[in-house]
Amino acid sequence: MSRVAWWIFLLCSAVAFAQETPIALTGTLITPDGIVQHGTVLIENGKIVAAGGQVSLPAKVKSIDTHGIIAPGLIDLHNHLTWNVFPRWKPMEEFGTRYDWQQKPVYKVLMDAPHRALVAEGLECEMEWFAEVKAVSEGETSVVGGTKEDCGKRLARNLDYDPRPGKTAAGPVVYDVFPFQMTADEAKRANDALDAHGTLLIHVAEGAPENASAAREFAMLKSRGLLRKGVSVIHGVALSPEDFGEMAAAGVGFIWSPRSNLELYGGTADVAAAKAAHVHMALAPDWSPTGSDGSLAELEYAAVWNAAQPHSIFSDRELVEMATSGAAALVGLEHSIGSVAPGYAADLIVLRPHGADRGKDAYWSVAHSSAEDVDLVLIGGDAIYGDAALTSQISGQAVDRVEVCGVEKSVRRRVFLTGRRRCARCRRDSIVHCENGDAGWLRWLNAGDDSLRRKYTSVEE
């Protein structure tokens, strides 16, 4: 596709998905000031115009009673999206560092080789699309860690790929898995981004809590001049309380992924020390093979882990904010996304409430929700995903039906365009991402290559 045609496609897409009628959603709101019962969110032109208990509505507004909890869309700052087509990987052992499991034959056979083969088959955009459907089904409206292939318009906001949402002074987001292997050009790009008030998200000190090799990476971080504002450390399992103190003093953030930490390394980061040092934190799921299926699942995992500690480290509200406004702040978008407040992008989720009969509030309900509880996902006021009864009231765009953990949902129909093939749309098939993994992903991709399916049937087992 020529550059001119590509820009025409983007402009037409923007017009097609623009919100034409003001929308008022009513329900229980989670706002920066707390919970608002029987609240209203007024949305116009993709932005939140008003939110609260007493909102004046224009004459031609479309009012929708969600009967649910209206919360900010979840922001995932740690993922490896194209790998999320794979089922859970259970190595049956704990490792010292990430370099240990990456050298294991079982990882190369069950994970690395199939991923390389699928990419070589030209399926990277299909893998990305599947992963983004999976992400929005978990309440995510913004992600990082996707493919850099030209796959057309994405389903979720790709913060390290798409232009920045709205008018913001924030610079670009650079996401790097192996920061100590950056080339000179990559290092320059990272530092240029930081100099432009951007963000560098990097994997550091990933390993067992007491592993000396993993802990040494913090010294390497400092020696490369990367202990600076705009940097956020992912994993950080081997970091000490003193390390977190230095991070806080330098304005370095932290992204916590407890499930993947515990499954691979037998422990997670000292988040109590990070909190005591006043490090700004976010919560994110990592990839599906050893982390959570998405941000809602990671929220619930973190909440259960937190409750199991001798003294709870976080409140439910703090956990929810780590996946929303706290994550937005780490990428310089705290005034654009991550909150239900006037002036913010209408990136919202509606969840079915539960727990009220046990005296639990809306924060608890969000922190203990699952994919089945997601009734609606809006990105820029556009109904991307959810129950047909809600999405059809907001958007007249074509949708596909998908089954998520036994519950039928609607997802916005979009087609990726690549130089090699026109990628498949969602089919009416299962996205199985409860605890048993993604058994149906090869059928869903609809790649039309039976030999490829047969070759990797063992991966699904």
DSSP one-letter string for 207-273: B-TT-HHHHHHHHHHHHTT--STTEEEEE-TT--HHHHHHHHHHT-EEEE-HHHHHHHHS----HHH
Q: What percent of the chain has pLDDT over 90?
A: 75
**443 occurs within a structural domain:** no
- Claim to verify: residue 133 and residue 163 sit in the same structural domain: yes
Confidence of residue 375 (pLDDT cuts 50, 70, 90): very high
- Helix, strand, coil percentages, rounded to 5, for the chain: 35, 20, 40
Asked if the model's pLDDT at residue 11 lies above 50, the reply is no
- Claim to verify: residue 150 and residue 278 sit in the same structural domain: yes
Does residue 348 contact residue 41 with C-beta atoms inside 8 Å?
Answer: yes
Give me the half-sphere count of Cα atoms (radius 13 Å) on the Cβ side of residue 268: 21
pLDDT for position 166: 57
Report, as an integer, the average pLDDT of 413-421.
49
Asked if the model's pLDDT at residue 23 lies above 50, the reply is yes
Q: What span, in angstroms and rounded, lies between the C-alpha atoms of 450 and 296?
A: 34
Report, as an integer, the average pLDDT of 326-332.
97
Containing H/E element for 14? helix 3-16
Q: What is the DSSP letter of 7?
A: H
17-31, 46-60, 321-335, 370-384: which range is least confident on average? 17-31
- Claim to verify: residue 372 and residue 230 sit in the same structural domain: no
pLDDT for position 205: 97
Identify the residue with better confidence: 39 or 7.
39
- The tally of domains found in the chain comes to 2
**96 occurs within a structural domain:** yes
Q: What is the pLDDT of residues 107-147, one digit of tens each?
A: 999 999 999 999 999 999 999 999 999 999 999 999 999 99
Residue 132 in 3-state DSSP? helix
**417 occurs within a structural domain:** no
Does residue 402 contact residue 428 with C-beta atoms inside 8 Å?
Answer: yes
Asked if the model's pLDDT at residue 457 lies above 70, the reply is no
**214 occurs within a structural domain:** yes
CATH of the domain at 39: 2.30.40.10
159-173, 228-242, 285-299, 376-390: which range is least confident on average? 159-173
Does residue 72 contact residue 317 with C-beta atoms inside 8 Å?
Answer: no
Please state, rounded to an integer, the average pLDDT across all residues of the chain.
Answer: 86
Confidence of residue 241 (pLDDT cuts 50, 70, 90): very high
- Claim to verify: residue 302 and residue 244 sit in the same structural domain: yes
Confidence of residue 17 (pLDDT cuts 50, 70, 90): very low
Residue 321 in 3-state DSSP? helix
- Claim to verify: residue 295 and residue 159 sit in the same structural domain: yes
Beta bridge partners of 7: none
Q: Token pair of 366, please?
A: 């969000």
- Claim to verify: residue 272 and residue 384 sit in the same structural domain: no
- Report how far Cα 395 is from the mean position of its chain's Cα atoms: 23
Exposed (0-12), middle (13-18) or buried (19+): which is 131, by Cβ within 10 Å?
buried
CB atoms within 10 A of CB 205: 25
- Claim to verify: residue 163 and residue 137 sit in the same structural domain: yes
pLDDT for position 162: 77
Which residue intervals of 88-226 are DSSP H helices? 98-101, 105-107, 113-120, 124-137, 184-195, 212-223
For the CA atoms of 331, 352, 303, 80, what is the dihedral angle to 10 degrees? -40
**447 occurs within a structural domain:** no
Given 278, 308, 330, the domain boundary residue is: 330
CB atoms within 10 A of CB 311: 6
pLDDT for position 401: 86
pLDDT for position 10: 34
Q: What domain range is 352 assigned to? A: 18-73+338-396
pLDDT for position 163: 64
**411 occurs within a structural domain:** no
Asked if the model's pLDDT at residue 148 lies above 60, the reply is yes
**60 occurs within a structural domain:** yes
Containing H/E element for 30? strand 23-31
Confidence of residue 405 (pLDDT cuts 50, 70, 90): confident
**Quick one: which of 260, 265, 181 has its CA closest to 215?**
265
Q: What is the pLDDT of residues 395-404, one digit of tens each?
A: 777 788 888 8
E-state strands within 32-144: 34-44, 47-52, 62-72, 74-75, 140-143
**435 occurs within a structural domain:** no
Given 296, 330, 364, the domain boundary residue is: 330
Q: What is the pLDDT of residues 84-101, one digit of tens each?
A: 999 999 888 999 999 999
Residue 286 φ/ψ region, left for φ over 0, alpha for ψ in the -120 to 50 degree band, beta for the rest: left
Give me the half-sphere count of Cα atoms (radius 13 Å) on the Cβ side of residue 271: 25
Q: Token pair of 243, please?
A: 């390390």
Asked if the model's pLDDT at residue 4 lies above 70, the reply is no
Asked if the model's pLDDT at residue 362 lies above 80, the reply is yes
pLDDT for position 450: 39
Q: What span, in angstroms and rounded, lies between the C-alpha atoms of 281 and 117?
A: 36
- Claim to verify: residue 249 and residue 166 sit in the same structural domain: yes
Report, as an integer, the average pLDDT of 39-51.
97
- Claim to verify: residue 68 and residue 91 sit in the same structural domain: no
CB atoms within 10 A of CB 121: 16
Given 308, 330, 352, the domain boundary residue is: 330
Q: What percent of the chain has pLDDT over 70?
A: 84
- Claim to verify: residue 135 and residue 152 sit in the same structural domain: yes
Q: What span, in angstroms and rounded, lies between the C-alpha atoms of 329 and 242?
A: 23
Confidence of residue 167 (pLDDT cuts 50, 70, 90): low
CATH of the domain at 271: 3.20.20.140
pLDDT for position 395: 77
- Claim to verify: residue 86 and residue 125 sit in the same structural domain: yes
Report, as an integer, the average pLDDT of 250-272.
98
pLDDT for position 293: 96
- Claim to verify: residue 103 and residue 23 sit in the same structural domain: no
